[in-house]
Structure formats: C-alpha cells, structure tokens
Chains A and B, each alone.
Chain A
Amino acid sequence: GAVVSQHPSWVICKSGTSVKIECRSLDFQATTMFWYRQFPKQSLMLMATSNEGSKATYEQGVEKDKFLINHASLTLSTLTVTSAHPEDSSFYICSAREGTGSGETQYFGPGTRLLVL
C-alpha cells in the first residue's frame, strides 16, 4: 500500500510554544489529506481536511486559529499547534487520500505524540 510519513514522531514542548507537524505522502500525490487526533484509549476524531492549494476545512469544535493547516504541495501538509497548552497533548495522526470513487482509500501516517508541559 501507499506510504505516508509524519515528522516528528514525538515532541515535548513548553506551554505557550508552537509546534509544527509534517505529513508527507511518499509514493503518491494527495490532493487531500486529513488530520486526526486520538486521546488515550479512544478512537480517532477528524480535526480537519487539508486541500492542496486551498484553505482547510475544520470540523465543528476545532479552532482553526489554534490548529493551523497548510497544504502547500501535493505531497506535504503541515499542522501547527499554536500556543500549545497541556490539554493539547495528544496523538496526532494524518492520512492522505489516494484514488477516487470506489477505489478511494485513506493511508495513515505513523502518528505524532505531542506532550505539552
């Protein structure tokens, strides 16, 4: 299957700082990528849909000014957690969409664990 990478795999930062997480599709082009967060022992919750060359679409309840998404190329989307606080500590997972219609599949990155002190 297709490969999606994330960097960094884990990050620890101080409260008030900003953290950038990269999501890359390594062997295919993805016009659409997705950002999820996963709290311990819970399922994935979609945060936003990242579209190449346009603004991201955020799910209800997700602060777009806090979670900045940039999808500058067909293989890279970035999520920046601005002014991070301890409650932002979570496992962030991106996915990239490959194919269209019935053949469409989302491939997930390995995740980034964020700990805000």
Chain B
Amino acid sequence: AQSVTQLGSHVSVSEGALVLLRCNYSSSVPPYLFWYVQYPNQGLQLLLKYTSAATLVKGINGFEAEFKKSETSFHLTKPSAHMSDAAEYFCAVRRGINKFYFGSGTKLNVKP
C-alpha cells in the first residue's frame, strides 16, 4: 500500500531560520511526489512536484525539496523562514492515474 509519513505535526522556527519539513514515502518504485501548502480556511496550493526529471526540485516562495531514493525521502526546505510561511504543509504521493495519498500534514509556526 502506498503511504506518506510526515514527521512532526508541528514545527516552530524563528524568522530567518532554516525550514525543514520531513516527508518519507513507502514505495517499491519512485513515485510522483508533491508538496502542497494550505493557509487557514483555504484549499491547497502546489509548492513543487517531483516527476523524476531532477532530484532537487525548486518550487514557489523559495521552497525546494530533494528526492533521495536511498532514504525514500522528499524533505521540504527553505533557507530563511518568513512570517508569511506560517501555514500547514502536506506531502503527497501519486501513484497511477487517480490516487493521491496525503500525509497527515505539518503545521509550521514562524516566530518573530
């Protein structure tokens, strides 16, 4: 079965600090991987996606994620956190045509 695990339901960083949100997937073959961000009372916005073209994927708002097959990971990073980055982040994996499996989400808090 396809699953996605996000370690840490809450992450708190200071403004300007490194952001690291963890995502591990379980799959026998490299899947398509996505990171989405959700602001309060809103839908999900695509940050970036991995489709096997390059292991380091750059997304919007300065975020990037690196696909590491040996670790089955797709962690999301940003060098310097902004207050506006405070939101909930979801890692998702797509297998087949229709199936998107979402992680449980990580709520990012940015302290001034």
Contacts and interface: CB of A to CB of B under 8 A. Distances in A.
Q: Do A and B come from one complex?
A: yes
Interface of A: 1, 4, 6, 32, 34, 42-44, 46, 49, 57, 93, 95, 102-111, 113
Interface string B31-73: 0101010000111111001011100000000000000000000
Nearest to B105: A43
Contacts of B53: 102
Given A34-B100, A57-B98, A106-B100, A43 B43 contact: no
B44 A93 contact: yes
B22 interface: no
A108 B52 contact: no
Could you tell me the dominant secondary structure of chain A's interface residues? strand
Contact of A46 (B36, B100, B103): B100
Contact of B98 (A32, A42, A110): A32
Interface residues on B, range: 20 to 34
25 contacts: A1-B45, A1-B46, A6-B43, A32-B97, A32-B98, A42-B105, A43-B102, A43-B103, A44-B44, A44-B90, A44-B102, A46-B100, A49-B98, A95-B44, A104-B32, A106-B100, A108-B44, A108-B45, A108-B46, A109-B43, A110-B42, A110-B43, A111-B41, A111-B42, A111-B43
Interface string B68-112: 000000000000000000000010001001111011110000000
